[in-house]
Structures are given as structure tokens and as C-alpha cells.
């Protein structure tokens, strides 16, 4: 029986659509860490994030208005504000602050521990991963630990702690997003981004950050990329997988983003990374494959179960 805070699940999306969303999150988000690093060269972190999300969220909501879609209710705005704060202020804001001291590649290497934290928060709310899923998550955590032992993150304790705070905030927001009343689809995504962007700007003003537009094409392009690709496309794809499939599968981006971010940081930003990364990355990539296989096998079993068995499975996992 569903609890009052749980929302009825819509029909499962097509496999190709889920795959397209995951690929966009894997690849695009892997490149946004470097884009943030470029953006904060001229813009303070909360101002950068605030303007990014206000514009991205506003674009999505205007698009929904043109399509004559209903806007969020007051209750849904409260839910969107909570989720937007946890994901985009506490999560992305922490990344923007930390990248003042830590390289983009090292930042995303630490964030590869996200599924561990997501699993812990899911357990707090009564939905622990299955045994094989735990195996994949632990394997990914081992790979992350190997990378953490390198010099990349040991040079800045403050930056590492800020990233850990962001991981906790983002993973909690991911779990709660399936339990609070937020509109499905682009309306909800836009509301979350708009609310988070406004909160970011309030924090920016409170901290006395200097509000000024970027003056170099390099930073302007980084901001544009963050708005359109990082927010409108990739964030919407991530929230779609969370809403329609599973938080655990959505969190596998934290395994794939590191090699993408490290390559982009090395190629475009001339960043270096320790040999620990070369040992840790194959481990986390293996965890991605294992977790995807376990999830797909579990989905097939539930789909093939008779109604009574399917009900028992659903009840046991709540």
C-alpha cells in the first residue's frame, strides 16, 4: 500500500528513451564540471549558478505555457523549492564553490561516491537496495576510494568537505523527489530550476558577490553551455530517469562522469591527475555495467511475474 507521500508511478518509458536520457546525463554532465571551472573564472559561484538556473527554469516554464500545460499549484511549488534547493543549491552550488580549490576532474572523481549516499538515504526511507545492487554500489565505492587516495583531492581539505556536503544534499534531494508533490515532466523540472536559481541569487546577494556579466567569449560560452545543455537537456533527462525508472539507475551517472570529466579537463584545461585515477576508473566503470545488468534483470522478473507475485514484490520493496 502506498504511503501518503508516495506518488503513483506513470507507465514505464521505452528502453530507447531511457538509454538516450542516460547517455545525455553521462556525457553532458561529465563536461559541465569543466564548464563550471571556466565560468567561475569571472563569475562568483552562486551568481553563476543562480543566473544559469533562473534562465533554464524560465525557458522550460515558458515552453510549457506555450503548450498550454498547467502550472504548479502552491503545494507543488513548495515541493519544487525543496527539491531544487537540495539538488541545485546544495548540490551544484557546492560543486561551484569547491572548484575554486579543486580541479574539475578531481571533483567529479569524488562525486562518483554518489550512489553510496543515495542508497543510504533510500534505506532511511525504507527502500534498501537488493543484494546484487549493493555489490555494484560497493564496487563503485572501492573505485572511488582508490581515486581519493591520490594527490588530486588531498591538497584541499576544504574543497573535499564542500564536495561531500554537496553529495549528501544531492542524494537526499534525489530520494525525496519521488516522495514529495512535484509536477511530472518539464513543468516540474523548470519549477525546481527556477526556485533554485532564485535561492542562489539570494545567497549570492547575502554573501556580497559581485554581480556582473562575463566579458570574455570563453566564459560566455561556458554559461550558455551550462544553461542549455547542462540544465535544460541533461538535468531534465536525469529527473526523467528518477521519476520514471529508478534513483539507483539515475545515480550511475556518478560512475561514468569521472572519465569524461577527466578527459575534458586534461584536453581543454590542461589539468593533471594522479595514477590512482587510472586504477580507480576501470573499477567504477565495471560497477556501472554490473548495476545496469542487475537492474535490467530485476525489471524483467517483475514484468514477467503473475499479478499476485508482482504485488508481493512491490509490497516488499516499499
CA torsion sign for 166, 200, 57, 82 is positive
d(CA 144, CA 167): 13
Is residue 307, in this structure, part of any structural domain at all?
no
pTM above 0.75, yes or no: yes
| Residue 219 placed within a domain | yes
Q: Where is pLDDT greater, at 15 or 59?
A: 59
pLDDT tier for residue 308 given thresholds of 50, 70 and 90 = very low
pLDDT of 51 > 90? The answer is: yes
Domain count, the chain: 1
Q: Could you read off the pLDDT of 249-284 as tens digits, one per residue?
A: 887 787 788 788 888 888 888 877 777 777 877 887
In a domain, 302, yes or no: no
Q: Is residue 80 part of a domain?
A: yes
> 70-74, 238-242, 266-270 — which is least confidently predicted?
266-270
Distance in angstroms (rounded) separating the CA atoms of residues 115 and 249? 9
User: Is the sign of the CA dihedral 263, 266, 267, 268 positive or negative?
Assistant: positive
| pLDDT, the chain, mean | 83
The answer to whether residue 4 is domain-embedded is no
pLDDT of residue 74: 95
What pLDDT score does 310 carry?
Answer: 34
CA distance 255 to 290: 12
Collapsed DSSP state (helix, strand, coil) of residue 272: coil
| Contact of 257 with 111, CB cutoff 8 Å | yes
Domain contains 112: yes
Torsion of Cα atoms, 119 then 130 then 297 then 4, to 10°: -70
Q: What's the mean pLDDT in 78-93?
A: 95
Residue 303 or 39, more confident: 39
Q: Is residue 238 part of a domain?
A: yes
How far is it, in rounded angstroms, from Cα 67 to Cα 302? 35
**Binning pLDDT at 50, 70 and 90, where does residue 157 land?**
confident
Cα separation of 55 and 72, whole Å?
18
* In a domain? residue 188: yes
For residue 4, name the pLDDT band (cuts at 50, 70, 90).
very low
**Domain of 175, in residue numbers:** 15-290
Amino acid at each position: 500500500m502506498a504511503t501518503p507521500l508516495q506518488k503513483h508511478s506513470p507507465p514505464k518509458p521505452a528502453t530507447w528513451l531511457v538509454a538516450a536520457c542516460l547517455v545525455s546525463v553521462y556525457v553532458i554532465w561529465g563536461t559541465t564540471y569543466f564548464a563550471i571551472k571556466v565560468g567561475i573564472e569571472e563569475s562568483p559561484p552562486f551568481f553563476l549558478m543562480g543566473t544559469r538556473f533562473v534562465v533554464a527554469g524560465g525557458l522550460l516554464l515558458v515552453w510549457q505555457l506555450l503548450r498550454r500545460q498547467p502550472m504548479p499549484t502552491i503545494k507543488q511549488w513548495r515541493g519544487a523549492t525543496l527539491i531544487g534547493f537540495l539538488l541545485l543549491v546544495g548540490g551544484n552550488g557546492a560543486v561551484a564553490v569547491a572548484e575554486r580549490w579543486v580541479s574539475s576532474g578531481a571533483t567529479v572523481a569524488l562525486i562518483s561516491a554518489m550512489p553510496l549516499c543515495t542508497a543510504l538515504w533510500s534505506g532511511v526511507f525504507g527502500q534498501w537496495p537488493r543484494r546484487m545492487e549493493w555489490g555494484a554500489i560497493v564496487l563503485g565505492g572501492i573505485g572511488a576510494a582508490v581515486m581519493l587516495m591520490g594527490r588530486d583531492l588531498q591538497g584541499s581539505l576544504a574543497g573535499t568537505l564542500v564536495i561531500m556536503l554537496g553529495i549528501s544534499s544531492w542524494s537526499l534531494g534525489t530520494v525525496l523527489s519521488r516522495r514529495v508533490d512535484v509536477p511530472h515532466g518539464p513543468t516540474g523540472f523548470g519549477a525546481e530550476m527556477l526556485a533554485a536559481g532564485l535561492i542562489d541569487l539570494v545567497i549570492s546577494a547575502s554573501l556580497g558577490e559581485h554581480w556582473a556579466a562575463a566579458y570574455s567569449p570563453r566564459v560566455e560560452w561556458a554559461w550558455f553551455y551550462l544553461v542549455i545543455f547542462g540544465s535544460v537537456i541533461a538535468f531534465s533527462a536525469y529527473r526523467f530517469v528518477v521519476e520514471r525508472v529508478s534513483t539507483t539507475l539515475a545515480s550511475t551517472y556518478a560512475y561514468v562522469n569521472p572519465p569524461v570529466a577527466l578527459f575534458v579537463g586534461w584536453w581543454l584545461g590542461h589539468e593533471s591527475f594522479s595514477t590512482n585515477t587510472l586504477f580507480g576508473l576501470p573499477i567504477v566503470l565495471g560497477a556501472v555495467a554490473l548495476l545496469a545488468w542487475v537492474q535490467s534483470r530485476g525489471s524483467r522478473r517483475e514484468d514477467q511475474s503473475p499479478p499476485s507475485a508482482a504485488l508481493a514484490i512491490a509490497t516488499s520493496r516499499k
